[in-house]
Amino acid sequence: MREKSFTLVELMISVTILSLGIVMVTRSLLGSASALDATQNRIDAARFLDGRMAELQIEALKSGGVKIATLQEDIKLNSRQATYRLDISALQAESEEPKLNRVDLALSWKESNVGKDEFLSGYLPNKN
């Protein structure tokens, strides 16, 4: 009577299949973590720009509008180097003085050596 058992070849095939499965699951998790990090960076950039726009809106309410301006500065956003740009330009209307300014905010950063950008635009009253 012969006992049933696994041969060495069967065990090696089983370990190989199991190892491939573990590698594929690990790669999938790493890809998901990378996508989550990229999404978090976009959310943080949008929050930053939204906060800056809110500051400009408060300034416009307090002082009656915003002045035409251009600004660019390097900032740290979650330990990541980024460039913040602000451009306030007059919105020209035909045959009358501009009453609104266009406000463009932009944030640029590098992610895995690829440039990423987030933008926010709006209109605020012109300060005379």
Q: Which residue has the tokens 């301006």?
A: 69
Q: Is residue 1 part of a domain?
A: no
- According to the model, what pLDDT value does residue 93 have? 67
Across the chain, which has 128 residues, the per-10-residue mean pLDDT values are 78 94 95 91 94 95 92 90 95 73 95 92 88
- Domain residues for 46? 8-125
Contact 61, 54 (CB under 8 A): no
- According to the model, what pLDDT value does residue 128 have? 66
Q: Is residue 38 part of a domain?
A: yes
Number of domains in the chain: 1
- According to the model, what pLDDT value does residue 111 have? 87
Q: Is residue 21 part of a domain?
A: yes
Q: Is residue 91 part of a domain?
A: yes
Buried b or exposed e, range 47-66, using 16+ CB within 10 angstroms: ebbeebbeebeeebeeeebb
Q: Is residue 2 part of a domain?
A: no
Q: What is the CATH number of the domain that holds 92?
A: 3.30.1300.30
pTM of the model: 0.77
